[in-house]
Amino acid sequence: MASSATGLPNPYAVEIVAPDLSAYAAGNTGLPYLWTFDSGISGPHVAVTALVHGNELCGAVALDWLFRMDLRPAQGKLSLVFVNIAAFEQFDPREPDGSRWVDEDFNRLWGQGVLRDTARPATHEVRRARQILPWLTTVDLLLDLHSMQHKTEALTIAGPTDKGRQLANAIGWPAIVVCDKGHAEGVRMRDFGDFANPASPRNAALVECGQHWEAESIEVAKDCVTGFLRHTGVVPVDFAQERMATRPARSPQRVYQVSGPVTIKTEAFRFEQDWRGFEHLPKGSVIGHDGDEAVLAPHEPTVLIMPSRRLWPGKTAVRLAFPVT
């Protein structure tokens, strides 16, 4: 796959300066940019990951914040990981959408057997995913920090199981929870293995902290990290209390169920309007056209989740959801 650049004008200001992460390059596990701290006391292996996509900066800043406070777990293990550093190192604020990946989307590689398929091209993302795979199989609770193309409310992707929704509620931020089964293109890291198995206690959350380059996405990432670490018990319940006292209070969560993604079939996909996300459309409304085929809103209402600017065959154009009471 070629560059992730959409070729479209960027409508959003780049408010975040990419942090210098060179101090974390060595890791302490034998793997670059992967750090694990062991309390020596029984407890879960908790992980926070950032830069699964190289142009999503807020998570990297939030992890840097944790490192700078010299955080260590009170029980269990805590891992902090900068994932796709090679993509991040290509970040250019003049073309900020061009560094999402090097060769392909890292967050579509986690289906059963994909990384063990010797016939699969060994792209940069495949090599890095194979590198961290043994580590990932040891993680009990994962928070994966992301951001979005459009400036809409932050949200948690809770995945397909009730336990994912319960974890999103326990973290507490953000106020919107989206339940879905992912993308036709491939499986996300948050849905890897037992994370998506309703019978397993292992669990994961993916948080979309805001628009990729808005400064507030950093603060949302810190809110989510704080809620997650408090919930897991690897930090005291008053962790970051002084900071959280200055942040907006927790709001009642609103839950949306995705009925399915719109997977693009042709080179001629186009939206009917410049959708940005969370539009509530009446059933039967025209959302867009995939070649000659109209894409219609399937239920009342149909809520548009994260419409994409990468309108390429095989990609998800938008997710279609309905509110859950």
The string of DSSP letters for 183-245 reads BTTBB-GGGSGGGG-TTSS-EEEEEEEEETT-THHHHHHHHHHHHHHHHHTSS-TTTTHHHHT
Token pair in block for residue 253: 């969560």
pLDDT at 12: 97
Asked, for residue 5, whether it belongs to a domain, the answer is: no
What CATH number does the domain containing 263 carry? 2.40.50.630
d(Cα 237, Cα 61) in Å, to the nearest integer?
Answer: 22
Q: Is 80 helix (H, G, I), strand (E, B) or coil?
A: strand
Is there a domain that residue 152 lies in? Answer: yes
Say which amino acid occupies 49: T
Rounded CA-CA distance 113/98 in Å is: 29
Query: 160: domain CATH number?
Result: 3.40.630.10
Per the structure, the complete domain to which residue 205 belongs is given by 22-252
Question: What is the spatial distance between Cα 250 and Cα 69, in angstroms, rounded to a whole number?
Answer: 24
* Domain match, 183 and 67 both: yes
pTM for the model stands at: 0.98
Q: Which of 252, 267, 298 is the last residue of a domain?
A: 252
Q: Encoding tokens for residue 224?
A: 């989510």
Residue 148 included in any domain: yes
The Cα–Cα gap between 115 and 130 comes to: 6
Measuring CA to CA, how many Å separate 74 from each of 40, 221, 230, 282?
9, 21, 11, 50
| Domain match, 217 and 303 both | no
Per-residue pLDDT reduced to its tens digit, 224-245: 999 999 999 999 999 999 999 9
Residues 306, 103: Cα–Cα separation, whole Å: 23
Amino acid (one-letter) located at 83 = V
Q: What is the pLDDT of residue 152?
A: 96
Bridge partner list, 290: 269, 293
Tell me whether residue 65 is in a domain: yes
Same domain, 137 and 220: yes
What pLDDT score does 251 carry? Answer: 93
Task: State pLDDT tens for residues 183-208.
Answer: 999 999 999 999 999 999 999 999 99
d(CA 321, CA 165): 15
Task: Return the structure tokens found at 162.
Answer: 């009730």
Q: Give alpha helix (H) positions in 48-111.
A: 58-68, 85-88
Residue 208 CA: distances (Å) to CA of 38, 116, 205: 28, 29, 10
CA–CA gap between residue 159 and residue 179 (Å, rounded): 5
Q: Alpha carbon 91 to chain centroid distance?
A: 18
Predicted pLDDT at 2: 67
Helix, strand, coil % (nearest 5) of the chain?
Answer: 20, 25, 50
CA atoms lying within 13 Å on the CB side of residue 255: 16
Number of domains in the chain: 2
**2 contact partners, CB below 8 Å, separation of at least 6:** none
pLDDT along the chain (325 residues), means of 10: 87 97 98 98 98 98 98 98 98 96 98 97 98 98 98 97 98 97 97 98 98 98 98 97 96 97 98 98 98 98 98 98 95
Give backbone dihedrals phi and psi of 304, rounded to 5 degrees, phi first: -85, 125
